[in-house]
Chains A and B, each alone.
Chain A
Amino acid sequence: MTLTGKAALVSGAAGGIGRAIATAFAQAGSAVACCDIDLAGAEETARLVE
């Protein structure tokens, strides 16, 4: 399963399931925008994604 060339937006991306989804999408080849009211958590996910 590949997401190469796709653009994704994940809300609730600061932790738990949202963070796991964001990283899995990135590993599958997608660009990912990480959204959360916990901005620090979302930025941490974004670092993991990169």
Chain B
Amino acid sequence: VAAAAKDAFGRLDILVSGAAPHDTGGAVTETTLADWERVVAVNLTGSFLLCRAALPLMIAGGGGSIILIASQLGRVGSAGRAAYCATKGALIQLAKVMAIDHAGENIRVNALSPGAVETARITRRYGSFEAARAAIGPKHVLGRLGQPPEIAAAAVFLASDASSFVTGSDLLVDGGYTAT
């Protein structure tokens, strides 16, 4: 993937690791090893591999900004979301360590933690946006789910020089989910 980016652009300034699998969820006692490993593979190992491939290209170019899409559920627990919460929490820590390790190479690394956002993941989990809004809208202080552009605006900030003194952070864009 990084080689393809190098071929296309000759450089890489910004990396967003945002892939996420559908996960059925469950307490630890309800989670099969296969389900656990699939969530870890995409959420955590995928981010690691992507960063490992991209970093040399960024370093060669003199710096960059890496954004790991985590979750408000990397900060707080949620019933029946063992694998999801564990991997999202790990991403927040991974961002911090990479921020430390690569600060000298002018690379900033941050996590971005959305609350529940109205995407296909949500309809798959809750059946419809209406059902999702009713079920988890009230858990957000703003009383609703987020929209994808509201998360993208924060990503543009972290990618741009507007955030030049921001590294090792986890930017919560969660409608106040974790404020209570």
A interface, CB within 8 angstroms of B: 1-3, 6-13, 15-21, 23-25, 28, 30-31, 33, 35-37
Contacts and interface: CB of A to CB of B under 8 A. Distances in A.
Contacts of B19: 11-12, 18, 35-37
B86 to A, nearest CB: 19
Contacts of B151: 17, 20-21
B89 interface: no
B17 A11 contact: yes
A20 B120 CA distance: 13
B156 A9 contact: no
Given A9-B12, A21-B16, A33-B8, A15 B69 contact: no
Interface string B7-43: 0111111111111100000000000000000000000
B119 A15 contact: yes
A16 B1 CA distance: 21
B150 to A, nearest CB: 8
Contacts of B159: 3, 6, 8, 25, 28, 30
Contact of B160 (A3, A17, A36, A37): A3
Given A9-B14, A11-B19, A17 B69 contact: yes
Nearest to B122: A16
Contacts of B1: 9, 11, 33, 35
A7 B14 contact: yes
Centre residue among A21, A31, A36 by max chain B CB count within 10 A? A21
Given A7-B12, A8-B15, A17-B117, A25 B148 contact: no
